[in-house]
Amino acid sequence: MRFNDSTPSGLKTGDTLIFSGPGQVHGIDVVAPTSSVNYLTVYDSEDSSTSSKIEVAFVEADAGMVSINHEFFTPVTCNRGCYIKITGNGTDCRYIVRYAKG
């Protein structure tokens, strides 16, 4: 299911602030890393230095997967902003977040 009012973030790599302020995450499209595994964690946070980040979603991207399209049946609400943190051993994971502000 694709939401018609989604805005794509554009292709991202690494830790990134997707939007600040309230909004909803509708889905994440991931191009899997070429080696090892990466974990994408979605936080309700306006920046990386916020000590009270709230984890709202998690996607695992493993090498060898063709691609990953993770749709949220109910959009994930972020009140302060949407910050993506990538952890794991892979270094070349790329992704697009589909979201709506407000």
Name the most confidently modeled range: 12-26, 30-44, 54-68, 88-102: 12-26
pLDDT at 101: 92
Percentage of the chain modeled with pLDDT above 70 = 90
Domains of the chain: residue spans and CATH: 7-101 (2.60.120)
**90 pLDDT tier (thresholds 50, 70, 90):** low
User: What mean pLDDT is predicted for residues 47-62?
Assistant: 80
13-41 pLDDT tens trace: 889 999 999 999 999 998 888 788 888 88
- Mean pLDDT over the full length of the chain: 86
Token pair, residue 63, equals 């090498």
DSSP reduced 3-state for 96: strand
Q: Is the dihedral of CA 50, 38, 17, 55 positive or negative?
A: negative
Average pLDDT over residues 41-56: 81
**81 Cβ partners below 8 Å, 6+ apart?**
17, 18, 19, 20, 21, 23, 44, 45, 46, 47
- Measured CA to CA, the distance from residue 97 to residue 94 in angstroms comes to 10
